[in-house]
Amino acid sequence: MGELPTIVIVATGGFLVGLVFGATAQRTNFCTMGAISDLVLMGDARRFRAWTLAIAVATIATQALHFSGAIDINKSIYLTPNLGWLGAIVGGAMFGFGMTLAGGCGSKTLVRLGAGNLKSLVVAIVLGIVAYMTLRGLLALLRTQIEGTANVDLKAYGLDNQNIGEIAGALFGVSSDAARAVAAIVAAAAFLIYCFKDADFRRSAANVIGGLVIGLMVPAGWIVTGILGADEFDPVPLASITFVAPVADSLQYLMTFTGSTINFGIAVVGGVIVGSFLMAVTTGTFRIESFVDSGDMLRHLSGAALMGAGGVLALGCTIGQGITGMSTLALGSVLAWLSIVGGGYLGMKYLEEGSFSGAVRAVFARG
Amino acid sequence: MTSQVLDAKGLNCPLPILKAKKALKDLPIGATLEVLATDPGSVADFEAFCRATSNELIESTQEGNVYRFVIKHVR
């Protein structure tokens, strides 16, 4: 292991993480969009609880790794003192809305793609292109405008990161370490209680296993990048599972391979597709699917674009912010996650009512 | 007994459930709805839907790539 270049170790680790993620999601039907859809259409919260179980598991493991000194979670992109609250809210809502149109979020798109769905191949490509446009291209102009005008620099308030415990500690005059520990315990406990108080969820093995395994892929990512990737001369950036920028990076990697270097995110993307493919073939669920009509295609294309742009604005997706970001207890991640869920809810109403104005009316009609 | 048929082939979730829910609302109690779908996730979806809405899933079969669900409108 000492002779292998760090990047090879990190890429292999990332691929394995993706493999487990993809196979598990395919087999257990873990689906963040499905979680919202089940809730809205049938009042069934089991898949939503699978998502929150993943958050709880990821939070406990991430915080444990941080407090044990194995990794410094403040080095992740989620905890910087640069609070992109507007991007989190607008981008999150865009992403949540988009995923209902596109048949699933970024990770689900890769899982579907691995299982033979050509619609999801198109979604992945459009998502990647639009995300890259938002990172570095035409849409980056809009993004930097939004970030430039709205971003809040928490350093001006004496904070050096956006951990919700840290912020609460500063407000109440409690030490940063104590406040962060309390926040971690309270958050994890709240999510665990929410998950396991429901007998239907407890009895649903697929959802419990799915949530558990997916949640464990977050600390797996921190370990691969933060420990295995901690090269003395060229450490890789601390990162874990997320599926917007890495999809964009994967497209670019495929296109510029001869002059490009792989990274953790790209390896995960590859692993998810392969893992899902292997599981689908093994369970006999692999099938080629394509667009039904132009409406179907338009929905998928717009959903993909919304996810690509929204996911970059929000610094992540249902997994990147919704699980990985949340596990760091970053304020921006909480805002992004809530906005994604809200956007998803609006998207479901849009599909039900057939129009955007109908969707807005439906949201307010309930209360 | 003739069922109303809902062709949801090629559509991915959440559309098959969404359309089935709408179609069932217009059906009289006791009538059945036959749904054809190709989304592999629809098997779990329709089981969950019938469980949650207390409608009866009379049939859940597969012929080649097409899943066939027959739902009885109970309430």
Q: What is the pLDDT of residue A117?
A: 96
Q: Roughly what angle, to the nearest 10 degrees, separates helices A6-28 and A205-222?
A: 170
CA distance A47 to B52: 13
Q: Which of A30, A15, A51, A58 is nearest to A222 (CA)?
A: A58
CA distance A44 to chain B (A): 7
Residues A166, A168, A174, A180, CA torsion sign: negative
pTM above 0.95, yes or no: yes
Residues in chain A whose beta carbon is closer than 8 A to a beta carbon of chain B?
Answer: 29, 31, 33-34, 37-38, 41-44, 46, 100, 103-104, 112, 115, 117, 119, 280, 285, 287, 289-292, 296, 348, 351-352
Q: Is the pLDDT of residue A367 over 60?
A: no
Does the model's ipTM exceed the 0.85 cut?
A: yes
3-state class (DSSP) for residue B60: strand
pLDDT truncated to tens, each residue of chain B (75 aa)?
567 999 999 999 899 999 999 999 999 999 999 999 999 899 999 999 999 999 999 999 999 889 999 999 987
In chain B, residues with a C-beta closer than 8 Å to the C-beta of A287 are 38, 40, 65
**Tokens (6 digits) for A331:** 């304020």
A330: left (phi over 0), alpha (psi -120 to 50) or beta: beta
Which residues does B contribute to its contact with A (CB < 8 Å)? 9-15, 17-18, 21-22, 38-41, 44-45, 48-49, 51-53, 65
On the question of pLDDT at A103 being above 80, the answer is yes
Q: What is the pLDDT of residues A188-227, one digit of tens each?
A: 999 999 999 999 999 999 999 999 999 999 999 999 999 9
Q: Strands (DSSP E) along chain A, which ranges?
A: 82-83, 152-153
pLDDT in the model for residue A366: 62
Phi and psi at B16, nearest 5°, equal -55, -45
Average pLDDT of the residues in A86-108: 98
Q: What is chain B's mean pLDDT, rounded?
A: 92
Q: Taking CB atoms and an 8 Å cut-off, how many pairs form between chains A and B?
A: 63
How does strand B32-37 pair with strand B56-63?
unpaired
Quote the pLDDT of residue A83: 97
Within 10 angstroms of residue A276's Cβ, the number of other Cβ atoms is: 31
Instruction: State what percent of residues in chain A have pLDDT above 90.
Output: 94
Least confidently predicted of A45-49, A122-126, A310-314, A354-358: A354-358
Q: What is the pLDDT of residue B36?
A: 97
Say what percent of chain A tops pLDDT 70: 99
Q: How many whole angstroms separate alpha carbon A65 and alpha carbon A339? A: 28
Other CB atoms within 10 A of residue A3 CB? 5
For the cut 70, the answer to whether the pLDDT of residue A109 exceeds it is: yes
Q: How far is B2 from chain A (nearest CA, A)?
A: 26
Q: How many residues appear in chain A?
A: 367
pLDDT at A33: 97
CB A350 within 8 A of CB A100: yes
The CA-based angle A149-A337-A341, given to 5 degrees, is 115
**Looking at residues A251-266, what average pLDDT do you find?**
97
For chain A, what is the mean pLDDT?
96
Helix axes B42-53 and A32-42, enclosed angle (nearest 10):
30
Tell me whether residues B52 and A103 touch, CB distance under 8 A: no
**How does residue A363 score in pLDDT terms, banded at 50, 70 and 90?**
confident
Model confidence at A68: pLDDT above 70: yes
Task: Please give the backbone phi and psi of residue A184, each rounded to the nearest 5 degrees, phi first.
Answer: -65, -45
In A65-168, the DSSP E strands lie at 82-83, 152-153
